[in-house]
Amino acid sequence: QVFNLNRLKYMTGETVEIVEPDWVYTGHGFSHNVVVNTESGYLYSVGSGFCNSGLQMIDVKTDPLRPQLVGCAEEDGYTHDAQCVIYDGPDTRFTGRELCFGYNEDTVTIIDVTDKSNPTIISRTGYEGH
């Protein structure tokens, strides 16, 4: 559900008000978590059962009240959580690119999501004992 928080400015709190969403995103019915990269304006829904439960890439910058699905990063399967950033680290090959660090069921996977129609796994490290 999408709710414009600016609407709260006009509520006095003197009475209970029932609020309805401004819009309902129907791309999936549930999500384990959502991750927002405020630099890029994209929201990433993870563990949703859609996109093979991987990263569902949603544009919330172009029209915040009408988010749109723009891509999936589903190759590595279920993503439990993630962090997505515009990379500014020591590896200059990826400087300025949008990278998502996916914390999956048995891997930590780094995906270049700069091109939403063609996300690319750049690193995948397995672990045990989860």
How do residues 14-62 score in pLDDT, each as one tens digit? 888 888 999 998 888 889 999 999 999 999 999 998 999 999 999 999 9
Query: Quick one: pLDDT at residue 98?
Result: 98
Query: Quick one: pLDDT at residue 49?
Result: 85
Percent over 70 (pLDDT), the chain: 99
pLDDT tens column, 79-117: 999 999 999 999 999 999 999 999 998 999 999 999 999
b/e code 72-106 from CB counts within 10 Å (16+ = b): bbbebebbeebebeebeeeeeebeebbbbbbbbee
Neighbours of 18 (CB within 10 A): 4
Whether 9 has a pLDDT exceeding 60, the answer reads yes
Query: Quick one: pLDDT at residue 1?
Result: 86
Query: Quick one: pLDDT at residue 103?
Result: 95
Q: How many helices (H) and strands (E) does the chain have?
A: 0, 8
Strand order through the sheet with 42-46:
33-37, 42-46, 55-59, 68-73
Please give the model's pTM, rounded to 2 decimal places.
0.88
